Structures are given as structure tokens and as C-alpha cells.
Chain A
């Protein structure tokens, strides 16, 4: 069981594990592993707390039902699974500013949080626009050879690589 307390596994072991996990999610739950719709759902659920049932009438929330579902539980599971892994290997720590960010832009948490917020807005909008994320399109969609997912995944990385170079080679 020593392997469970190791800090890092080979990316291939992790990838093969995720691939096998996807077999079981298709077989048992009849669903591909995906995450981003859960955030849209949660956002609608929070809005519903403040503005009442009329929120459910928006066309988008007719499509994405405002109720806890399989994928919502999956995302909660990711938080728990990551926490278990990090605690077992001693890799858990509270951190405001990641080190690559700090080496280019300093260790001020306020700046990092504001930029993360802007990044969250952008990635959240892009995920809704393209209909998926790195797991839904990038892994589950790609492994089904879905045309929409291969196009999306290429664009995720093209946009990401260009923007990361702008941030760290031009600005930073």
C-alpha cells in the first residue's frame, strides 16, 4: 500500500487509470466522465436561492436541470479524492500563490486571486460555449472519437499555449 502514499505517480499510470475508470463509467453509469456542466448547474441553484423558482424557467436551465445529479456528485468526489490523495502523501497545503506565478508576478495573493477570477470567467464562458471542458471534450469526447471534442480539445490547447506565452514571455 506504499504506492498510495507516494507523492507522484507516472503520468502514464494515471492516464491508464483514468481510461479504465471511463470504461466503468460507461458500463455502470452509462455516462462519460465530464465536469463543467456542474458549475453551470450550481450557479443556477445559487441564483434560485435568491431569486426563486422563476430562475428554472430560463431556457438554459430547462436544458441543464437545476438538481443534484450524477455529474454533480462526480465533481464533489474529485474534491474528496484529491484531498485523500494529498493528505496520504503529505502533499496537502493551503496555498494562495503558485510558484510559477510568484516567480513572474510576485507573491501578492490579491493580484493572483483577481487574475484567477478573470481566468475563471473566461474558462467558464468558453466551457459553456463549446459545450465541454478538458475532461468532457478532452478525455471522454476524444476517446469516443467525437468530432466536436477533437476540434474543441485542439482549440483549448491552441488558445492556452498562445495565451500562456503572452502571459509569461511577453507580460511577465
Chain B
């Protein structure tokens, strides 16, 4: 019902939803254990006094990237990179960033913050995110024909953009992330 893909038989319909719930429970559990459900931890990152959020994100990217590109090389998985454009990702990203600092949670960690009992996330933040989504839906046709398509570069990944083998980017990126994390630890951050 949710998908037009005829390969998925109706009897499997419930299973993707339950897997979503299961992945969410593990994700939420990990975010809470890492402290990422807390305003103080996120604001500490943005004030550059507590690097927990960056450490979590970079080690997730490092681990995920190596595993997923290995499985892609083996033909087990495919990638789902998002479409992008200069107008979309730079302007949208900066608006997001301002909201990130004002709210002190992000759309994923706000769900975790609600589970943690944080009422500013539930009563303030969640309400704001829901209200503005309706506004965006109303503005979408106009934005989509204008600013969102400025400087369109499509759904490329770095290896496809430069037309090279995946591992030409994966290996140096892995080394770079590892060195950055090593440097953060050495610097006592």
C-alpha cells in the first residue's frame, strides 16, 4: 500500500514497519547512552566545549561507510544518496544550523529527548517542527521551481562525481576521519 514496487508481496507489508520500529528502538537507546538526547551535550558541541556529538557522528560515518561500501562492492546493497543543489543544501543547511542552536535538539534527537522526559523538546520544539512543516508544504511548489533547483547537481556521491572507483574515496576518507578523531583525543577535547 505504501509502495508501488510490485516485488513486495502484500504478506510482507507489516514486516518493514516492524523492522523500522526495531531499528528505531536500538537507535534511540544508543543516542540516549551517548548523551545525544541532551540539550547540554548538543549545545556543548556547538559551543565547541564538548565534542561528544561529533565523535558519535564521525565514528558512525566511519563504521557505516566501510561496511556499506564493502557490501556494495559485494553487490549486497545499493546506495540511496539524496538529490541536492546549491540552493537547497547550503541555504537549507544554514537555516537548519540556526535552528539547531536555538532548539538544542535535532529532528532525530528530539524524539530521543522526548523519551528522556525533556518537556521543552515535546511542548516547544516538536510543536514548532510540526507547525512549520505545513508552511513548507504550502510554499513547496514555488520554492521547488525557484531556489531549490538553483545549482542542481543531482544525487551524486563523491566517487561518482569524480568517476573513480568507490575505494579511491572510501579509504582516504576513513583515514581522514580516523586522524581527526585521534587528534580530538590528543587535544583533550
Q: Give residues in A with beta carbon < 8 Å to B.
A: 6, 8-9, 11-33, 35-36, 38-40, 42-44, 46-47, 58-61, 65, 67-86, 89, 91-101, 109, 112-168
Q: Is the CB of A144 within 8 A of B115?
A: no
Contacts of B131 in A (CB 8 A): 43, 120-121, 124
Q: Is the CB of B96 within 8 A of A156?
A: yes
Q: Is the CB of A14 within 8 A of B30?
A: yes
Contact residues of B between 1 and 37, Cβ < 8 Å to A: 1-2, 16-37
A126-B29 CB under 8 A given contacts A86-B116, A146-B82: no
Contacts of A98 in B (CB 8 A): 38-40, 43, 104, 118, 120
A116-B60 CB under 8 A given contacts A124-B133, A129-B96: no
Interface contact tally, CB-CB below 8 A: 518
Dominant secondary structure at the B interface: helix
A129–B143 Cα distance when bound, in Å, is: 9
Which of under 10, 10 to 19, 20 to 34, or 35 or more describes the interface residues of B?
35 or more
Q: Is the CB of A78 within 8 A of B43?
A: no
B42 to chain A: closest CB distance in Å? Answer: 9
Partner of B25, one of A81, A127, A132, A160: A81
Which of A22, A122, A130 gathers most chain B CB within 10 Å?
A: A130
The answer, yes or no, to whether B119 is at the interface (CB within 8 Å) is yes
Q: Is the CB of A119 within 8 A of B99?
A: yes
Q: Is the CB of A39 within 8 A of B84?
A: no
Contact with A along B107-132 (1 / 0, CB 8 A): 11111111111111101111111111
Q: Which 9 A-B pairs have the closest CB atoms?
A: A77-B24, A159-B97, A120-B128, A148-B84, A155-B93, A19-B63, A81-B28, A130-B92, A116-B124
